[in-house]
Amino acid sequence: MTNSIQIFADIGGSLTAELIAQQLASSDRSRPLDVAINSEGGSVADAIAIYNLLRAWPAGVEVSIIGWALSAATIIAMAGRVIRIHEASLMMVHAPMVAASGNARDLRQSASVLEQVAATMRTAYGRTGQKPEAIDSWLSGDDHWFTAQEALAAGLVDEIIAADALAAAPINVFACRHAVPPIIKERIQAMTTATQTPEEIRAAAVRAEGERRTGIRASFAHFMASDGVAELLRVCEDDPSVTVQAAGQRLLAHIARGASPVAGRYVPPMDVLPTGDSRISDFKAAAVDALLIRSGIRIAKPHPQAADLRRMSVVGMAERVLSMHGRSSASMSRDEVIRAALSTSDFPLLLGNLASTALRTGYLQAPATHAGWTGEREVPDFRPRTLAMLSASPSLLKVPEGAEYKYGSFSESAESFKVETFGRLVSFTRQALVNDDLDALTSTPSTLGAAARRLEADMVYAKLVSNPAMSDGKALFHADHGNLASSGAALSVDSLGLARAAMRKQKGLAGEFIDPQPRYLIVPVALETKAEQLLNSTVDPSKSNNTENLEWVRRLVLVADPRLDAASETAWYLAAEPRQVEGIVRAYLEGEARPFLDQQEGWSRDTMEYKGRLDIGVGVVDYRGLYRNPGA
């Protein structure tokens, strides 16, 4: 029996990494995981997070593409130990994209982020066994479409599921958000026509009708409190000829009745609304998304009203907030509008949500090579902490007939560290708000979030390369710990085999075998290309014949980080899955957001001040989960 999850929606929209993590938390980790994919893609950040979650599944993941896996969905597919695709299914790979605007520096920053994302995608696609140049061509900017046979030839999948197993072609290639090449449309249409039975055609029609109704309900969701919207929704749902787009147009026409012109276009009239009214909440959420999009930060699923606000300045948003509070701004200067809006509860909250979202986005999008191979815990306070390293459970003893059972006990050792606070202050000046300075409003918190992520990585890798002393008085990597190579050796199948054997021979504190399994290969970037060649090759690179590369070597997860190069460009490491043996642990303050943002209004300098902080500590728990080879 296996566990199963489905990737059947917009990634980063209704299907997020957090939702998948929750599903995995309730699954049996001792059993394999089946992942079914039928998605047009979505947020690359969420896709990479889901990919990492699936790659860490201890019992292995098997992926089935049962409709299509496009764009970001292909990244998730690469987490499979085995990837299967239905005969009439599609895949599409392309470069990461972002909607960017602003000055030259803004565009360069957006391009830099895209390059970092592309580097992560290259690692995922490395599973195909393709040469780096081929993968780079997939990420060159064009859409690269693959039928099932083409995906198999490219190494994107391992097997093709025959049509009689399950007819699972995309329902309507003409409804895809991506531009499907005509030749692909013709192939898929021909395949589905040839293979679908009457029952399958009926099932597809039912599925399409369900998707139509779901899409219409999603479009109407934020406007149900308005008069007549519920009745309009019923009419649109009950008429099969009304598409999602047509229903949206009817909704807009309904809402626009009685509207008045503002700044050259029509918007619904705003009454005085009490704080907490859903319309105020909707406006603030839409305004935050609109400002983030204008500044070049990608939002996977923007608020439906965000498009209406993208051309509205910060001052215009302040005027809208004042209108909601029953205050006219007709005779106010831009500076007075900002001052008046800051005196309400909603405008400072809008700015706080904007800064918090930008901070969190910067944190999540920053490179995080350290996250996969380190453990993670929460602690209640800042006092020094001792993390116990327990032996395995006591061995079972033979119990003679009628005899008493004997008690077993755990041995333990302990390593200490503590959580400390790191942070910086940023502020939004009144002048920045009046001038509609989006760089100050969004880019500054975003870079602060990225700095928090970098701090985590700095602390983790500093701990790894410093080889600190353990509670037994010996260094983390020491011959007596059995986790240090006796002499340096270059990366090869043979040297990896010796390292694996050393790890698996590790014993617990009571002398029992605990058998740590190497999961991550950690290298400086100077060795990254060589490591990719070794892990992605189907044959042993060190042999002159076609000796097959070992499956366990190909299953290693490659981690490369430039911080390691500063210490050594030849040393490499193996790390066990943290759920089996925790080597290095990141600890955070319990209940705090990561990173956390606090705000207050500046009194002496006309500013809104924001304090970004990260409460974190890094410690070594168990040397048996790590292995070091000085390299050669």
**Residue numbers annotated as active site:** 71, 94
The answer to whether the beta carbons of residues 61 and 4 sit under 8 Å apart is no
Two structure tokens written together for 291:
């400002």
Strand 82-86 to 159-161 pairing = parallel
Burial 477-494 (b: 16+ CB within 10 A, else e): bbeebebbbeeebebebe
The answer to whether the beta carbons of residues 322 and 336 sit under 8 Å apart is no
Alpha helix (H) residue ranges in 542-623: 551-554, 562-567
List residues bridging with 147 in a β-sheet. 90
Which of these, 367, 375, 363, lies nearest to 520 by C-alpha position?
375
Task: Please report, for residues 148, 472, 556, 596, the alpha-carbon distance to residue 134 in angstroms, rounded to integers and kept in the order given.
Answer: 18, 50, 22, 41
Which of these, 359, 422, 362, 347, lies nearest to 608 by C-alpha position?
347
Q: Which residues contact 629 (CB under 8 A, 6 or more apart)?
A: 485, 488, 489, 495, 499, 571, 572, 573
Q: How far apart are the first and last CA of the chain?
A: 46
List residues bridging with 159 in a β-sheet. 84
Q: Which residues contact 301 (CB under 8 A, 6 or more apart)?
A: 10, 12, 13, 14, 42
Cα 95–96–98 angle (5° rounding)?
135
d(CA 278, CA 221): 12
Q: Which residues contact 591 (CB under 8 A, 6 or more apart)?
A: 378
Which of these, 199, 191, 209, lies nearest to 67 by C-alpha position?
191
Two structure tokens written together for 308:
């209406």
- Reduced to 3 states (helix: H, G, I; strand: E, B; else coil), residue 15 is strand
Task: Please report, for residues 102, 114, 368, 443, 479, the alpha-carbon distance to residue 109 in angstroms, rounded to integers and kept in the order given.
Answer: 10, 9, 18, 9, 46
Which of these, 229, 312, 324, lies nearest to 265 by C-alpha position?
312
Q: Please tell me whether the peptide bond between 595 and the residue prior to it is cis, using omega within 30 degrees of 0.
A: yes
d(CA 629, CA 498): 10
